[in-house]
Amino acid sequence: MAPAVQPRRIIIDCDPGIDDAIALLLAFASPELELRGITVVSGNVSIDLTVRNTLQICALAGESGVAVHAGCHRPLVREPIRGLFSGPTGLGKLDLTAPTRPPAGRHAVAFLVEALTAAAEEGAPITVCTMGPLTNLAVALRINPKIAAGIERVVMMGGAYQVPGNRTPAAEFNILADPHAAHIVFSSGLPITAIGLDASHQALSTPERVAMIEAVGGALGRTVGDLLRFWDRGDPARFAGPGGPLHDPLVIAHLLRPQAFATRAAAVAVELEGALTLGQTVPDWYGQTGAAASVDVVTEVDADAFYGLLAERLAAGRRRVVA
């Protein structure tokens, strides 16, 4: 008999946000992943709302055992900016019940330092999955650079590498929201898988895909369907049809189905100046800078496989959620 495959140990750092919420639900429904904790950052909405939204999604999914740690309330240097597409609360028009538990007592950065230090000492590194501005991870690396030994890989949603930005012509929101934090992470030498707009703009939530998700039924199918319908950009000129690009769940999907993604290795720098280029992610495809190509930039995604996986896991997760 083949030995049982151990679940991959992960920490999710997020700023819910509609797409973060869907990513959390996908992670909760995936037994291949051992979620060691959730850290929350200011981003799509303010830190009080991102924490509340995370706790509400945990309650919706019946996840009461995963600690949620509130993190940094603003970027390192720049003034905060907010997301444009998740609504004023961050969860569209959802009216979920109030959280049934408070966040954990430890700050997110303190938790990251402690958990990753322990992982390094145990020789059991953790995959850090980032879905918002990189403030929490950057501060943790500045406090104790040795935690890098406890990180197997950073799998992030962030950047625009061969396509225009979604917040400025050059920059994607997560990187623009805290470009200085992104610079710290990209220049850390850590192995990184970067899932940017190049990939997520291929993963549109078309009406047919939304209908497939809603067909799951129950509280999860209804909730994700409502979120995706609110998420529709109404911009067929840019996206070649109706629907919105689903960003953050691709991070979890990449862990579960790496064969559905194509990558290209490069060193990546983050532009920290420039009125028009702040937050731009600049890939060095041909080794012109001499920097190590430590970033695997996702260039393609099998969108049908991704949405099929999402529907499959939501259906599995439904079994433990009251409809």
Catalytic entry in 183, 201, 247, 254: 247
Q: Tell me how long the chain is.
A: 323
Residue 64, classed as helix, strand or coil, is: coil
Of the candidates 111, 91, 101, 22, which has an alpha carbon nearest to the alpha carbon of residue 59? 101
Query: How many CA atoms lie less than 13 Å away from 183 in the CB half-sphere?
Result: 14
- For residue 203 the two structure tokens come to 């993963």
Given phi > 0 = left and psi -120 to 50 = alpha, else beta, which region is 62?
A: left
- Give CA–CA dist 185/190, Å, rounded: 8
Whether 133 contacts 177, CB under 8 Å: yes
Task: Assess whether 73 carries a catalytic annotation.
Answer: no
Give the H or E element holding residue 269.
strand 261-270
What is residue 31's DSSP assignment? T
Catalytic residues: 247
